[in-house]
Amino acid sequence: MKQDIILSGVGGQGIVSIASVIGLAALEENLHIKQSEVHGMSQRGGAVMSHLRVSSRPIASDLIPAGGADMILSVEPMESLRYLPYLSDKGWVITNSKPFVNIDNYPEMESVMNELTRLPHSLMADAEQLAEEAGSVRTSNMVILGVASPLLTLSAEALEKGIQKLFSSKSQDIIDMNIKAFRIGRNFTKGKGF
Amino acid sequence: MKQLLLGDEAIAQGAIDAGISGIYAYPGTPSTEIMEYIQKSKQATDGKVHCRWSTNEKTAVEEALGMSYAGKRSIVCMKHVGLNVAADPFMNAAMTGVNGGMIVVSADDPSMHSSQNEQDSRFYGKFAMIPVLEPSNQQEAYDMVHYGFDLSERLQTPVLFRITTRLAHSRTGIDLKTPRAQNLLKMPQDTRQFILLPANARVRYKRLIGLQNDFAKETETNDNVSYTDGADKSLGIIACGLAYNYLMENYNNAPCPYPVVKICQYPFSTKHINHLINTCKEILVLEEGFPFVEEQLKGITETKLIIKGRLSGDVPRDGELNPTIIAQSLGMETKSSFKVPSVVMMRPPQLCKGCSHIDTYNAIVEATASMNLHRVFSDIGCYTLGALPPYNAIHTCVDMGASITMAKGAADAGVWPSIAVIGDSTFTHSGMTGLLDAVLENTDITVIISDNETTGMTGGQDSAATDRLQQICLGLGVDPAHVKTIIPLKKNHAENVQVIRDEINYKGVSVVISQRECIQTSARKHRKS
Ligand SMILES: Cc1ncc(C[n+]2csc(CCOP(=O)(O)OP(=O)(O)O)c2C)c(N)n1
Ligand code: SF4
């Protein structure tokens, strides 16, 4: 088993939390993991991405080769397209459909959606709206992780354990809300027949 | 169970487990998390490991050397350009050698993800003539810290530990060793070891030269350095550090068909390389950074041997390596089914909404609007983004501290108004000495210290300048009538513009401290409490 994922978004949207949950879940299932993160620039608002590799066998490279990613998991729609050269021909793009507009020349949403729907395998969800159902827009990262989860080889149990570990220093309410967000996302995709 | 650690954290945990008594560092991507991990580590707190940030990389190396002098183990960490700042103590520590083990970690940033250049720290190791370690993965990084301290104490030499961004900032499962105890206080046996008077220094230099053979032998016995044979002798590959992983990625856990020398210690093993040269027709050198090994192989005369690498153009001359680049250099096919669609626009980093630097720049831009030849010499930090629209407020950014000194030089040449914009942490890092130069001549410059009470750019570490800026400026001799403090907020805009304009019009050194906390740092403090 091997799964290579590109995570993308905008600085400040917290893609690191998604990476951490997957990492913790992989460790839980005794899998090898390499997770290359973006650190450094603490200003918010620039494009950020991260390489995440999970495998039952040892992993050589920290970086995913071009055309090798099984999934692009994005918390922002335009950002999901920026890393397409990494995607394998069978790979999935899973993205939040809600744009983060902080540049003057942000493209028309319609053209972004067109590019996404032209791809052989893509799935979009309004993570913010679903997160509000869970109780707070701040859980939208866990929603989008939930949306992707039926396509991940990691089990839902392991991912939920990962969420619990990640938020272990927070109150039980916050943990529960994030688990709920994850499940809402997961059901969204399951509802589409996955 | 394995621990999920960043490369930087693996180095930090490795250092704690190898029995350090202190870490010294100045923040700098991608090295910052080494110190941050140790500051949070209970094990380090229990062991009373010293772990406060230093004012700059030079003070950090000297402090680490002092701890080593006293017989204890120390590690000192910085980004690659930090080693330029620390080059003086670094070069001379090679001459004195060490007493307690000492490792200098220098984190290179090929492709300049968050740096102003791409320099390769291995050259510093060769320059100082000391051993360099370059782990190829995070587990090796953990293990090689322990090994590095042993090497340092065995041969009484500082050891340079070279890492790059991807190693530093990639997380993976790490197996830990049993921790060992710290060293006890023990003064150097030879009382002249650390007195580099010429007469002693000559002795020390001969010793360092004499050690070169021992350093090479150590490399040959490092288990992580290897020669792996391959059936296809049409090509021999030398893979340094991380490049080894990128190479092996292309063979999917199967062995490489060509003979491979894996390098993770310098001076590199000539035994392995001679063997490779004698058996293979062509050599491909894969190394992150400059063509360091490739140049040494080539020497100065043309050899018949075909050496491929960054110099020959078989590997791109600049930028970070990755598995795809290496596949291409091996003539393998690479596939990419999708292109980046044209709707995707650039999204550069921006100052956070509400950042104090924004109000400071707005005031400077307005204050200088009617002065058509004004120049703003700036520096390195979040505030460097003032170079981008909508601010377009600065004209230079070169190296930490260069704002004040370049403004002085430009003023000497006749530029008016000559303005420096510098962050608080950058000011104490290396702005203070430049300000003294200006004070000595009462040069007509205006220095604006954009004081957000933190080291913002690298994630909000404590700043040595906090609550001290005014005292420092007065202490350096700036006229008290021309050390002003303003609060960069929208509501104070008109007043701030006036203060800046007045200080520009004053003929002499003036300092305006523009003071409001970074909103990210203040939010983090609130979350903690
Ligand atoms: C010699 C050197 N050391 C470290 C760095 C990394 N670095 C860049 S800016 C910066 C600190 C900036 O802090 P400050 O001056 O307070 O400005 P802020 O980012 O808070 O606006 C650091 C540590 C560097 N570029 N060069
Ligand atoms: S991190 Fe702080 S200093 Fe940097 S841009 Fe954001 S608010 Fe400004």
- Could you read off the pLDDT of B435-480 as tens digits, one per residue? 999 999 999 999 999 999 999 999 999 999 999 999 999 999 999 9
H helices within B70-107, ranges in order? 80-85, 87-96
* pLDDT value of position B447: 98
Give one word for B391, left, alpha or beta, with left for phi > 0 and alpha for psi -120 to 50. alpha
Q: What pairs with residue A77 in β-bridges? A: none
- B169 with A67: Cβ contact below 8 A: no
B156, B12: one domain: yes
Alpha carbon of A166 to those of A24, A53, A72, A179, B69: distances in Å?
Answer: 8, 19, 22, 11, 42
Average pLDDT, integer, range A17-46: 87
* pLDDT value of position B310: 97
Average pLDDT, integer, range B214-218: 96
DSSP per residue over B388-439, as a string? STTT---SB--STTHHHHHHHHHHHHT-SSEEEEEEHHHHHHHTHHHHHHHH
How many whole angstroms separate alpha carbon B457 and alpha carbon B397?
Answer: 14
Contact B422, B403 (CB under 8 A): yes
For chain B, the distance separating the N- and C-terminal CA atoms, rounded to the nearest angstrom, is 32
Last residue of a domain, one of B294, B310, B329: B329
Atom of ligand 1 nearest to the CA of B425: 16
Report the separation in Å between the CA atom of B49 and the middle of ligand 2, taken as the mean of its atom positions. Answer: 30
Q: Please state the domain extents for chain A.
A: 2-99+115-190
How many whole angstroms separate alpha carbon B193 and alpha carbon B175?
Answer: 38
Phi, psi dihedral angles at B102 (to 5 degrees): -140, 130
Q: Is B346 exposed, middle or buried (0-12, 13-18, 19+ CB in 10 A)?
A: exposed
Which residue in the set A27, A78, A81 is minimally distant from B4, CB to CB? A27
Please list, in sequence order, all residues whose beta carbon lies within 8 angstroms of the beta carbon of residue B236, skipping any fewer than 6 positions away.
B258, B259, B260, B261, B276, B277, B279, B280, B282, B283, B284
Instruction: For chain B, give the longest Cα–Cα distance.
Output: 78
* pLDDT value of position A124: 97
Tell me the pLDDT band of A40, cut-offs 50, 70 and 90. low
Please list, in sequence order, all residues whose beta carbon lies within 8 angstroms of the beta carbon of residue B269, skipping any fewer than 6 positions away.
B216, B219, B220, B225, B261, B263
* CA atoms within 13 Å, Cβ hemisphere of B286: 28
Kindly state if the Cβ of B28 falls inside 6 Å of ligand 1: yes
B186, B293: one domain: no
Which has more pLDDT, A12 or B149?
Answer: B149
Amino acid at B497: V
Residue linked to tokens 């490991």: B49
* CA atoms within 13 Å, Cβ hemisphere of B320: 19
- Could you read off the pLDDT of B483-493 as tens digits, one per residue? 999 999 999 99
How many whole angstroms separate alpha carbon B489 and alpha carbon B450?
Answer: 13
Report the separation in Å between the CA atom of B460 and the middle of ligand 2, taken as the mean of its atom positions. Answer: 9
| CATH number of the domain encompassing residue B285 | 3.40.50.920
Give the closest-approach CA distance of B353 to chain A in angstroms. 8
How many whole angstroms separate alpha carbon A178 and alpha carbon A160?
Answer: 9
* pLDDT value of position A73: 98
Tell me the pLDDT band of B413, cut-offs 50, 70 and 90. very high
Tell me the pLDDT band of B224, cut-offs 50, 70 and 90. confident
Average pLDDT, integer, range B45-74: 98
Average pLDDT, integer, range B9-33: 98
- B459 with A40: Cβ contact below 8 A: yes
The three-class DSSP label of residue B10 is helix
- Could you read off the pLDDT of B294-312 as tens digits, one per residue? 999 988 777 788 999 999 9
Which residue in the set A45, A63, A112 is minimally distant from B323, CB to CB? A63
* pLDDT value of position A70: 98
Residues in chain B with CB shorter than 8 Å from the CB of A24 are: 4
Nearest residue (by CA) to ligand 1, atom 2, is B82
Give the closest-approach CA distance of B43 to chain A in angstroms. 19
H helices within B227-286, ranges in order? 243-249, 270-279
How many whole angstroms separate alpha carbon B27 and alpha carbon A41?
Answer: 12
Token pair belonging to B175: 């197996």
| CATH number of the domain encompassing residue B443 | 3.40.50.970
Contact A99, A106 (CB under 8 A): yes
B425, B301: one domain: no
Pairing mode, strands B483-486 and A122-125: unpaired
Radius of gyration of chain B (CA): 25
Token pair belonging to B394: 């600065």
Report whether pLDDT(A42) > 80: no
* pLDDT value of position B223: 86
Amino acid at A112: V
Q: Establish if B280 belongs to a structural domain.
A: yes
- A85 with B340: Cβ contact below 8 A: yes
Q: Establish if B348 belongs to a structural domain.
A: no
ipTM of the shown complex: 0.94
Report whether pLDDT(B374) > 80: yes
Average pLDDT, integer, range B385-402: 96
Please list, in sequence order, all residues whose beta carbon lies within 8 angstroms of the beta carbon of residue B252, skipping any fewer than 6 positions away.
none
Percent of chain B having pLDDT more than 90? Answer: 94
How many whole angstroms separate alpha carbon B436 and alpha carbon B486?
Answer: 22
B399, B460: one domain: yes
How many whole angstroms separate alpha carbon B134 and alpha carbon B131?
Answer: 10
Which has more pLDDT, A41 or B381?
Answer: B381
Last residue of a domain, one of B167, B190, B221: B221
Phi, psi dihedral angles at B69 (to 5 degrees): -55, -40
* pLDDT value of position B529: 78
Pairing mode, strands B265-266 and B132-133: antiparallel
How many whole angstroms separate alpha carbon B208 and alpha carbon B203?
Answer: 9
Contact B76, B105 (CB under 8 A): yes
B242, B316: one domain: yes
Alpha carbon of B407 to those of B397, B402, B474: distances in Å?
Answer: 11, 8, 20
Residues in chain A with CB shorter than 8 Å from the CB of B528 are: none
Mutation probe of ligand 1 site: the residue of B394, B426, B524 with most atoms within 8 A of C-beta: B426
B370, B477: one domain: yes
Percent of chain B having pLDDT more than 70? Answer: 100
B391, B509: one domain: yes
Token pair belonging to B124: 């510093």
Contact B269, B219 (CB under 8 A): yes
Report the separation in Å between the CA atom of B154 and the middle of ligand 2, taken as the mean of its atom positions. Answer: 45
Closest ligand, as measured to the CA of A46? 2
Which of A62, A101, A138 to mutate: most B Cβ within 10 Å?
A62
B113, B205: one domain: yes
Q: Pick the closest to residue B162 from B179, B149, B144 (CA basis).
A: B144
The three-class DSSP label of residue B475 is helix
Give the closest-approach CA distance of B475 to chain A in angstroms. 32
* pLDDT value of position B215: 97
Q: How many CB pairs under 8 A join A and B?
A: 165
Contact B155, B94 (CB under 8 A): no
Tell me the pLDDT band of A43, cut-offs 50, 70 and 90. low
Q: Pick the closest to residue A7 from A97, A86, A114, A110 (CA basis).
A: A86
B75, B9: one domain: yes
B48, B20: one domain: yes
Q: Is the CB of residue A111 less than 8 Å away from at least one CB of chain B? A: yes
Average pLDDT, integer, range A91-95: 98
Atom of ligand 2 nearest to the CA of B350: 5
Q: Return residues 129-188 of A near B (CB < 8 Å).
A: none
For chain A, the distance separating the N- and C-terminal CA atoms, rounded to the nearest angstrom, is 19
- Could you read off the pLDDT of B169-185 as tens digits, one per residue? 999 999 999 999 999 99
Nearest residue (by CA) to ligand 2, atom 1, is A43
Report the separation in Å between the CA atom of B160 and the middle of ligand 1, taken as the mean of its atom positions. Answer: 22
CATH class of the domain at A2-99+115-190: alpha beta
Q: In whole numbers, what is the pLDDT of chain B averaged over residues?
A: 96
Average pLDDT, integer, range A163-191: 96
Token pair belonging to B462: 């404590």
Q: Establish if B334 belongs to a structural domain.
A: no
Alpha carbon of B464 to those of B20, B27, B30, B387: distances in Å?
Answer: 24, 12, 20, 25
Among A79-88, B267-276, B402-411, the minimum mean pLDDT is found in B267-276
Q: Is B147 exposed, middle or buried (0-12, 13-18, 19+ CB in 10 A)?
A: buried
B93, B133: one domain: yes
Q: Pick the closest to residue B267 from B168, B193, B164, B157 (CA basis).
A: B157
B321, B441: one domain: no
Ligand 2 cavity residues, CB under 6 Å: A 42-43; B 351-352, 355, 357, 382, 452, 456, 518-520
Which residue in the set B113, B171, B350 is minimally distant from A23, CB to CB? B171
Report whether pLDDT(B192) > 90: yes
Average pLDDT, integer, range B202-217: 97
Give the closest-approach CA distance of B71 to chain A in angstroms. 34
- Could you read off the pLDDT of B238-250 as tens digits, one per residue? 999 999 999 999 9
Question: Which domain does B440 fall in, by range?
Answer: 356-526
Last residue of a domain, one of B221, B256, B290: B221
CB B1: neighbour CB atoms within 10 A? Answer: 9
Q: Establish if B340 belongs to a structural domain.
A: no
| B175: DSSP letter | P
Q: Is the CB of residue A99 less than 8 Å away from at least one CB of chain B? A: no
DSSP per residue over B297-335, as a string? HH-SS--SSEEESTTTTSS-SSS---HHHHHHHTT----
Tell me the pLDDT band of A185, cut-offs 50, 70 and 90. very high
Report the separation in Å between the CA atom of B437 and the middle of ligand 2, taken as the mean of its atom positions. Answer: 30
Which residue in the set A12, A65, A103 is minimally distant from B249, CB to CB? A65
* pLDDT value of position A12: 87
Contact B175, B209 (CB under 8 A): no
* pLDDT value of position B303: 76
Q: Establish if B17 belongs to a structural domain.
A: yes
Q: Establish if B78 belongs to a structural domain.
A: yes
Q: Establish if B342 belongs to a structural domain.
A: no
How many whole angstroms separate alpha carbon B104 and alpha carbon B61?
Answer: 8
- Could you read off the pLDDT of B80-109 as tens digits, one per residue? 999 999 999 999 999 999 999 999 999 999
Question: Any idea what the Cα angle at residue B75 is, between residues B74 and B78, rounded to 5°?
Answer: 150
- B337 with A27: Cβ contact below 8 A: no
Q: How many independent structural domains does chain B possess?
A: 3
Give the closest-approach CA distance of A162 to chain B in angstroms. 12
Average pLDDT, integer, range B485-512: 98
Which has more pLDDT, A16 or B510?
Answer: B510
